[in-house]
Amino acid sequence: MKRLTPRALLLGLAAPLGALVFAAGLCAVILLVTSHSPADTVDAMSTAAQRPRTLVNSLNTATTYYLAAVAVAVGFKMKLFNIGVDGQYRLAAMLSATLAGAAFMEGLPSFLRITMTIVAAMLVGAAWSGLAALLKVTRGVSEVISTIMLNAIATYLVSYLLNPARLAENVPGSNNISTRPINEGGQVTGITVEGSSSKIFGLLFLALAVGFLYWFVLSRTRFGFELKATGLSESAAVASGVSVKKMVVLSMLISGAIAGLVGMPQLLGSSYSYALDFPAGIGFTGIAVALLGRNHPVGMAVAALLWGFLDNTANSLDVAGIPREIVLIMQGVIVLSVVIAYELVRRYRVAAEQREVGRALGRTKALEEVSA
């Protein structure tokens, strides 16, 4: 275990904080150049932040992002890029929404219904990521390429299934199309907050449990050890008897199963059906959050909260006449600059270590010379 000296802590925080400050600075410059006022922007966002509803929504968005980040992080830990979280969660949400809304489910007890929905989502997510795992271990196909392709295929598959002739129906009074709505027995009740019309997702606790399990499995089990070992050095892992193929399949399946959960808080806690306007692109946000949080269970939670907060306060910007995309730009800049900052800090650490070793060696040498 690394010792947590103030210096190490400072270096650890330097990268994310530096990236944040840099991104904020850059966005301020962009705003100034395009003749908007950065002060007004901050003002609008902080006014929005004082509304309980914004905070509740931020927490809810963060719940979703956190699940996506953990799904990505499981792969990252063994140098496996599951770019496919996006396709996995959309397909999983769509199919499990169909199951949850089906007529025969309405007679079942609530707990069983919800469990079945969630398990179905996990299975679909795992199956979709399993395809990529299969291609990787049998044919050596890079998971990056195969999951990019599978994302696109999932998009078309969902739009094929989400059709009144197949699994969906028209939403009365709009041109939206959705799966059959889940009635009350299949929903997860939220937590009411005073002063806010939206409730905190009940499945927030699911996300917390997933985060805890992620931490526990990675740092307290043999499987987690082997997973990290494979990520750090494949050849060393093979030498110590780890079956890398098995690890690839297992971690892809786990990652896909967690990806399947991503849509659940939204589906069971607020929209109750999968429609054309179901949130998309969360898989990529998950990558960003995992990077910012360095795959650490708590780090990712902080990053997810930040992302959720930025997303929800951005809604207030359009009213103030500032394009809300400035927040998206800020998020993009944060991701890019945080990875660069981590790299710079790493290089600084290596250089500092080398200097220290050099100094220590120099001292011994000097002592030897004196004694000689």
Please give the residue ranges that form the binding site for other proteins (CB under 8 A).
30, 34, 78-81, 83, 135-146, 148-150, 152-153, 155-157, 159-160, 163, 230, 234, 244-245, 248, 284, 287-288, 291, 323, 325-326, 328-329, 331-333, 335-336, 339-340, 343-344
CB of 177 to other proteins, least distance (A): 12
Residue 264 or 338: the one with the smaller Cβ distance to other proteins is 338
CB of 137 to other proteins, least distance (A): 5
Residue 303 or 333: the one with the smaller Cβ distance to other proteins is 333
Torsion sign over Cα 159, 122, 131, 234: positive
**Tokens standing for 55?**
């905070």
Residue 129 or 146: the one with the smaller Cβ distance to other proteins is 146
Phi then psi dihedrals of residue 174, to 5 deg: -155, 170
Kindly give the residue spans of alpha helices, DSSP state H, lying in the chain.
Answer: 6-33, 38-49, 52-76, 85-101, 110-139, 143-161, 204-220, 222-232, 234-239, 244-261, 264-266, 282-292, 297-314, 325-371
What is the rounded end-to-end Cα distance, in angstroms, of the chain? 39
What whole-number distance in Å separates Cα of residue 261 and Cα of residue 118? 7
- Which residue, among 123, 135, 168, has the nearest Cα to 273 in the 3D structure? 168
CB of 212 to other proteins, least distance (A): 26
**If DSSP codes are grouped into helix, strand and coil, which group holds residue 20?**
helix
What whole-number distance in Å separates Cα of residue 69 and Cα of residue 229? 21
Residue 118 or 289: the one with the smaller Cβ distance to other proteins is 289
- Name the residue type at position 139: R
Residue 146 or 178: the one with the smaller Cβ distance to other proteins is 146
CB of 357 to other proteins, least distance (A): 17
Residue 117 or 179: the one with the smaller Cβ distance to other proteins is 179
CB of 67 to other proteins, least distance (A): 18
CB of 59 to other proteins, least distance (A): 22
CB of 147 to other proteins, least distance (A): 10
**Tokens standing for 264?**
């659940």
- Which residue, among 152, 142, 144, 98, has the nearest Cα to 280 in the 3D structure? 152
Q: Classify residue 243 by its DSSP letter.
A: -
**Tokens standing for 49?**
């932040």
Residue 197 or 233: the one with the smaller Cβ distance to other proteins is 233
